[in-house]
């Protein structure tokens, strides 16, 4: 298993852990600013970057870079599609002339969820491309 695949699995694990913790907090504390603290768990996604390989300064070869680029692009595309969907849905449901007022914590939570979506799609795409080949 390559380091990129290990990173992808680790990241998926962190995302699952964060989601479980989030919904647990929401169940116990209710939906609000306090529940947002669990998003700090996402910092764990940076742990593999300080792995032994990284400290040794071993770089990625062209295939790894290609897969990494494709995976990141897939993640950003997924985020873009969801963003467009949310904008359209909000417009249709609330009406295009409606005014929305949301608390800051909700805006922050939206950004955290978007980051999780990008990371999740990036991780899954990384795993798929390593299995099927980056030319798939």
Partner 1 sequence: MPDDKSAIRNHIRRLRFEHGEMTQDELGKRVGATRHTIMALEAGKYFPSLLLAFRIARAFGAGVEQVFEFAEASGPGLSAS
**Residue with token string 């979506």:** 117
Asked if residue 51 binds partner 1 (CB under 8 A), the reply is no
For the CB of residue 83, give the shortest distance to partner 1 in the complex, in Å.
32
Asked if residue 56 binds partner 1 (CB under 8 A), the reply is no
Alpha helices for the chain (secondary structure H): 3-29, 52-56, 62-94, 104-132
For the CB of residue 61, give the shortest distance to partner 1 in the complex, in Å.
4
Sign of CA dihedral 4, 50, 47, 118: negative
6 contacts 110 by C-beta, under 8 angstroms: no
For the CB of residue 47, give the shortest distance to partner 1 in the complex, in Å.
21
Asked if residue 97 binds partner 1 (CB under 8 A), the reply is no
Comparing CB distances to partner 1, the nearer of 2 and 90 is: 2
């Amino acid at each position: 298993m390559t380091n990129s695949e290990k990173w992808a699995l680790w990241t998926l694990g962190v995302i699952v852990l964060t989601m479980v913790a989030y919904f647990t907090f929401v169940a116990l504390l209710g939906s609000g600013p306090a529940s947002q603290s669990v998003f700090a768990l996402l910092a764990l996604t940076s742990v593999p970057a300080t792995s032994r390989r990284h400290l040794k300064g071993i770089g990625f070869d062209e295939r790894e870079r290609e897969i990494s680029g494709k995976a990141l692009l897939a993640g950003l595309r997924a985020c873009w599609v969801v963003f467009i969907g949310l904008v359209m849905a909000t417009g249709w449901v609330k009406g295009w002339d409606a005014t929305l007022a949301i608390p800051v914590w909700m805006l922050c939570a939206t950004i955290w969820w978007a980051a999780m979506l990008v990371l999740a799609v990036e991780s899954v795409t990384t795993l798929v491309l390593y299995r099927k080949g980056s030319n798939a």
